[in-house]
Amino acid sequence: MMSDEYAVIGNPIGHTKSPLIHGLFAKETGQDMSYISIEGPVEPDGAFADTVRSFIAAGGRGMNVTAPFKLKAFALSDERSERAALAGAVNAMKFENGRIVAENFDGVGLVRDIEVNLHQPMAAKRVLILGAGGAVRGALLPFIAARPAELVVANRHVEKAEALVEQVAAGGSLTACGYAELAAMGQFDLVVNATSASLTGELPPVPASVFSARGAAYELAYGKGLTPFLRLAREAGVQGVADGVGMLVEQAAEAFAWWRGIRPQTRALIDRLTIPLE
Ligand code: NDP
């Protein structure tokens, strides 16, 4: 009998670590499954949906979704979790009884990496998130669930941060602003760079005054060493700095547990995949 089939779909997909991660999870937990990568078609319209449906028809049980298909996967799904609905984006799908059930584990993976792996619980803390794109939309509900005293979302196009904050009823502890306002806001216990600035070696215009030496700085991009953002945090005396490799492994573990009903260990794998920051 064939083992249960899973895949990650994206374009490009050559760089993906998901088959390695899920392969090791399967081995560790003794699950009989395969996990491949699929380069999805960007055009024509509808070709992405056809690829997913052929995978299901061939016996596929679930899929991870990465750029640029997270919105298309959302549109294709029959059922969505609350956090996937707020994100408007999907990073994991489960195929059952002819239905496509959709989730977004990026945010829970991020929160788990910060709180469990990096020992930085957010409860009652001041937390600053930079950016208001897909990653932040997916992370917002899990961040609120972690009950920070204050959660500030800063974005270059401030109206995007404002629109996002308005969608979530979290009371006065959740606010949106532009970068210019950050200089007057004091120090934060945790600053998360969820912009894509680091992918091009840029620094979001964040003032060094937001960092607290006893706090932490987290960069969602990974494998890039000390990004300008992490460098700024270091120069401000922040000891606890980390990149997004732990988030990557933790979102994979969430999807794996959702599909298979068993949670894999993540620590050793994060260590193995981590490229030292300096
Ligand atoms: P999006 O394209 O959806 O959003 C990009 C965001 O970055 C926007 O808020 C944009 O601001 C902001 N931005 C881009 N360039 C700059 C700049 N030079 N200065 C200030 N702000 C800037 O990207 P995603 O949300 O999907 O991804 C964000 C980051 O998270 C990427 O680095 C990605 O690689 C990483 N990521 C990591 C994951 C992991 O598992 N570790 C998972 C998912 C994402 P504006 O709206 O004003 O244009």
Q: Which atom of ligand 1 is nearest to the CA of 155?
A: 47
- Does residue 72 have an active-site annotation? no
Task: Write down the catalytic residue from 70, 72, 94, 125.
Answer: 70
- What's the gap in Å between 195 CA and the centre of ligand 1? 3
| pLDDT at res. 215 | 95
| pLDDT at res. 1 | 57
Does residue 196 lie within any of the structural domains?
A: yes
**Same-domain pairing of 20 and 52:** yes
d(CA 194, CA 219): 7
Q: Note down the domain range covering 44.
A: 4-104+249-273
**Same-domain pairing of 145 and 85:** no
- What's the gap in Å between 6 CA and the centre of ligand 1? 27
**Same-domain pairing of 186 and 229:** yes
Query: CATH no. for residue 75?
Result: 3.40.50.10860
**Same-domain pairing of 85 and 125:** no
| pLDDT at res. 2 | 75
Closest Cα to atom 3, ligand 1: which residue?
A: 133
Q: Ligand 1 in contact with 254 (CB < 6 A)?
A: no
Does residue 92 lie within any of the structural domains?
A: yes
| pLDDT at res. 170 | 67
**Same-domain pairing of 184 and 262:** no
**Same-domain pairing of 174 and 56:** no
Does residue 278 lie within any of the structural domains?
A: no
Return mean pLDDT, the chain.
95
Share of residues in the chain with pLDDT > 90 (%): 92
**Same-domain pairing of 183 and 202:** yes
Query: What is the three-state SS of 107-145?
Result: HHHHHHHHHHHCCCCCCCCEEEEECCCHHHHHHHHHHHH
**Same-domain pairing of 147 and 203:** yes
- What's the gap in Å between 139 CA and the centre of ligand 1? 12
Does residue 116 lie within any of the structural domains?
A: yes
Average pLDDT of span 133-149: 93
**Same-domain pairing of 224 and 118:** yes
**Same-domain pairing of 25 and 93:** yes
**Same-domain pairing of 8 and 96:** yes
Q: Number of C-alpha atoms within 13 angstroms, CB side, residue 18? A: 25
Q: Ligand 1 in contact with 244 (CB < 6 A)?
A: yes
d(CA 247, CA 232): 21
User: Domain count of the chain?
Assistant: 2
Query: CATH no. for residue 184?
Result: 3.40.50.720
State pLDDT tens for residues 58-115: 999 999 999 999 999 999 999 999 999 989 999 999 999 999 999 999 999 999 999 9
Closest Cα to atom 41, ligand 1: which residue?
A: 244
Residue-by-residue DSSP string for 20-54: HHHHHHHHHHT--EEEEEEE----STTHHHHHHHH
**Same-domain pairing of 138 and 180:** yes
Q: Ligand 1 in contact with 199 (CB < 6 A)?
A: yes
Q: Which atom of ligand 1 is nearest to the CA of 198?
A: 32
Answer whether residue 257 shows pLDDT above 70.
Answer: yes
